[in-house]
Amino acid sequence: MNALIAFVLLAFATASFAQMPPPEIAARQYILVDVTSNQVLAEREADAQADPASLTKLMTAYIVFNALRDKKLSLDQTLPVSLRAWSERKGGGSLMFIDTTMNPKVSELLRGMIVQSGNDASVALAEGVAGSVEAFVAMMNRQAQAWGLKNTEFKNVTGLTDAGHHSSARDVATIAAHIIADHPDFYPIYSIRQYTYNNIKQDNRNMLLGRDPTVDGMKTGYTDAAGYCLVGSAVRDIPGGKRRLVSVVMGTASKEARAAESQKLLNWGWQAWDAVRLFESGKAVATVPVWKGSLPEARLGAAGALFVTVPKGEGDKLKTTVERTDPLLAPLTAGQRVGSIKIATAGGNKIAEVPLVVLDAVPLAGVFGRLWDGVRLWIK
């Protein structure tokens, strides 16, 4: 996992600053997350349950990506098109336009699902991975539960309106962040602007891909119940790495509105906030004595490069506190947690807390070294 998303598996933390308010966003619910620092920069009704429409296909794709990673499926593998997949054309949703005479490759179906938002492709992939749509939906829900998504319940793989099928802006942002973090090899599919299958060319419905060069994903959705929805993902180079923002807007009034409101959020995130790298990956925050070890000291630091997001110009006003175990006793393994690194504003509002870990292993000393340190500790 690279430094850009090293802390994405933690729960998103809400930034605590006196900050210029975000622009007025015409959406029922929204959230803007700086994935680099794992901080929420703006939100409204982000935990309210709502119809996610085709944003559902983010989780559908995640489960397929897992199957590809685990070698249960291959990109060149062909899959049959069942009558159930073909019948999606009767539901009035987006289609890849496959039929029961075809045997598309998994790589083609992925593009049909992600770029063209094909409901038929989603069903064909689900059946290819799990044998049935119902079994695949159960996998989606188990994954949602494993991540602690409290406002998400899936009833289908497409996002068509279904009783009890719901998610939230925060949960959708979490799914998007996991795709970026866990499956970087597949994420570039979300940046493809057009895809042609069976001589039918369709544009990616994410208008931001053609408007903003920093946007490289991610997914649109629409149903009457959901309104127009969009997950936008954008990345820029910053000193020491890259910075990624993910915006989710749900319940906007039109295709143009979902693109415009997403763009407002992303622009505000870039303009009003800075990402500050506090620590480099592998660089010690502290070097401290070790007792009963073959080395006298241990290097301690963060597990990866640590970024925090602050209002423009506030980066030099942060306070960092290191809390650690004392005394530190060998043996110590690389990556072993021995405390915490806490970052707060000048006013004391906590921004982030990450584990303080041992950077280099420290084996046990010999018998005499351990005995000597035991005496010293007893005297101490």
Give me the residues paired with residue 39 across strands.
Answer: 13, 34
Give yes or no: 54 in active site.
Answer: yes
Question: Quick one: angle between helices 119-130 and 57-69, nearest 10?
Answer: 40
CA dist., res. 43 & res. 168, Å (int): 11
E strands of 207-345, at which residues?
A: 215-223, 227-238, 241-252, 273-279, 286-289, 297-301, 306-311, 319-324, 337-344
Give me the residues paired with residue 349 across strands.
Answer: none
Give yes or no: 57 in active site.
Answer: yes
If phi > 0 it is left, if psi is from -120 to 50 it is alpha, else beta; for residue 339 that is: left
Place of tokens 């408007």: 211
Task: Using alpha carbons only, give the angle 64, 73, 128 rounded to the nearest 5 degrees.
Answer: 70
Choose the catalytic residue: 37, 94, 117, 262: 117
Choose the catalytic residue: 37, 57, 168, 247: 57
Q: For the chain, first and last CA: distance in Å? A: 42
Choose the catalytic residue: 54, 167, 233, 247: 54
Provide the annotated active-site residues.
54, 57, 117
